[in-house]
Structure 1
Amino acid sequence: MTLHRIATVAGGAVVVLGLMGTGLWSYLQTAGQRAVATVKENVPIDFEIDRARRMVGNLVPEIRRTMQIIAQEEVEAERLAAQVQQAERKLAQDRQLVLTLKTDLEAARPKYEYGGKTYTPQQLRQDLAAKFARYQVADENVKTLGGMLQAREQRLAATRQKLDTMVATKQQLEIQVEHLQVRLRQIEIAQAAGDARLDATQVSEARTLIDEIQTRLEVAERVLHAEAAQAGEIAIEPPAVDIVQQVQAYFGHGSRAE
């Protein structure tokens, strides 16, 4: 073959491909889809029903795992709630003590007596500053714990709802699969009686329902996922120079020991 003929053939091939353009991919894609559809149509319906039944059964481990997660979350939520209640009671006691010391300092007495011991105003002011600093830390800690408890309870409620949805979906799919099994038996009986028209109609309906079931199963298997909330760091501000004014500003004007 001469160089001229080779060039002619190559040029013709380029022209053909150019005429086809992007349509070539469309032809290949259509052919592939038809091949897949042909293979699927040749798969026995009883095999597809068994496959759907197994997919429904595959939801059971996920349901059990979610139940375990819920039980664990319930235990952790109860512990955290008890911790929050205890911290809130201690915080209320500390608040009362801080306000009592603040009120005493505002009286501007030359000395103060507590528990049989006498203290100067400067000593009382230093003690109030230390107690107030600890109170601020405890107050932020209670807020953080409360936020964690709320987030955990919300996550627990969402997981319970997802579990209910998963269980209900599984039950519905089981009923539909069994319904398909009954319809298949009806088709087989009709085939034995020579009724080909019934076979064609119900086979198409059965395959459509199987596709719907498999789609719902694939969606259901991705339902149960949750993210754990992370608590932020507690920022502690140093006490101001005038501890009485700082306590007054923190609790609000008019705050008095009860």
Structure 2
Amino acid sequence: MFKLAKKAIVGTLILGGLGTFVFGKDVFSYMRTSVKNVRDTVRAEVPLEFEISRAKEMVEQIVPEIEQCMHVIAEQQYDIEQRQVAINRTEQAVSDQQTAILALRSDLSNGKQRFVYASRSYSADDVKHDLARRFERFKISQQTLERDRELLTARQSALVANEEKLDNMLAAKQDLVVKLENLEARLNAVQAREAISNIEIDDSQLSRAKQLIGQLDRVIGTREKKLDNEGRYIGMIPVEADAQQREQAENVVEEIDAYFNGTNDDDAETSPATYGGLTAASL
């Protein structure tokens, strides 16, 4: 371990010395620029989906802070309620003290020397001493009540501030969530458009398909024309007639030639030609 550390330190010193020798006083500027370029390059290679996921995680990390703020608000609300109850009791006690003080002061104003309270007799000096102690406690109670009221007001102000802070945090979190959803939707739209634009049409495949369709059309068209022609030539004289039929046809041709060329001129004048028992007149 020590050897590895020693080698690392020595290597760093060598690189630092070499950099200083090459770049001089600008070596640190070159180093900062290089580090920045490397950092920017690495960041550029990070997928946007990963960055959006990282942003979502950062937004979710706000939740514990929100929960802590809600806890503090709940504590403050309970504390304020309890302080308000205590102040109400103190106010009632101060009011009772004031009533008793005014009653004793009223009794002393009558000029009596003896006073009876709860079946016990007190002199005027006793009443004065008691009145002085009561008045002193009354002033202390009033001061305490004022401090409690001021503290309650401060706690209420802090509660309002924390509630506003909580509202702002909730609104900010919701705003960030909406922005992230918008960014994610925009990224999906961009990726869909990029996927469409990157589709390459194979023209050669299209040409081969057109050529095949043309060939099929030619073959089917040829067969259709063949069927049409076969239908048109039904009933013609067969070329492959047998020998007897050809001979009979030739004899008929010779007789017709002889008749019309004058080879039987005499017979033609005196008697009509016959063929197969039929006279020319009958023809």
TM-score range, shorter chain: 0.5 to 0.7
Q: CA deviation at 1:51?
A: 0.4
1:45 aligns with 2:45: no
1:29 aligns with 2:32: yes
User: Per-residue CA shift, 1:93-152, capped at 9, x if unaligned?
Assistant: 101212332343344432333333322222112111221222222212211211221111
Question: Comparing 42-51 with 59-68, which one deviates more in the overlay?
Answer: 59-68
Q: Could you tell me which amino acid in structure 2 is paired with residue 187 of structure 1?
A: V
Query: Measured at CA, do residues 60 and 122 of structure 1 come closer, stay the same or move farther in structure 2, by a change above 3 Å?
Result: same
Report the equivalent of 1:97.
100
Other structure's SS at 1:193 match: helix
Query: Measured at CA, do residues 187 and 112 of structure 1 come closer, stay the same or move farther in structure 2, by a change above 3 Å?
Result: same
Report the equivalent of 2:68.
65
Report the equivalent of 1:161.
164
Report the equivalent of 1:140.
143
User: Per-residue CA shift, 1:140-181, capped at 9, x if unaligned?
Assistant: 221121122111111111111111111111111111111111
1:85 aligns with 2:71: no
Query: Measured at CA, do residues 107 and 38 of structure 1 come closer, stay the same or move farther in structure 2, by a change above 3 Å?
Result: farther
Q: CA deviation at 1:86?
A: 1.2
Q: CA deviation at 1:92?
A: 0.9
Query: Measured at CA, do residues 119 and 62 of structure 1 come closer, stay the same or move farther in structure 2, by a change above 3 Å?
Result: same
In structure 2, what is the Cα distance between the partners aligned to 1:141 and 1:49? 56
TM-score (norm: length of structure 1): 0.62
Q: Root-mean-square deviation (CA), in Å?
A: 2.8
TM-score (norm: length of structure 2): 0.57
Q: CA deviation at 1:56?
A: 1.3
Equivalent pairs, count: 182
Unaligned 5+ runs, structure 1: 1-15, 196-258
Residues 1-258 of structure 1: matches in 2 within 5 Å? 25-194=28-197
Query: Measured at CA, do residues 112 and 55 of structure 1 come closer, stay the same or move farther in structure 2, by a change above 3 Å?
Result: same
Q: Could you tell me which amino acid in structure 2 is paired with residue 120 of structure 1?
A: S
Unaligned 5+ runs, structure 2: 1-18, 199-283
In structure 2, what is the Cα distance between the partners aligned to 1:109 and 1:134? 25
Give 1 or 2 for the bigger CA radius of gyration: 2
Other structure's SS at 1:119 match: strand
Q: Could you tell me which amino acid in structure 1 is paired with residue 44 of structure 2?
A: E
Q: Could you tell me which amino acid in structure 2 is paired with residue 70 of structure 1?
A: I
Other structure's SS at 1:181 match: helix
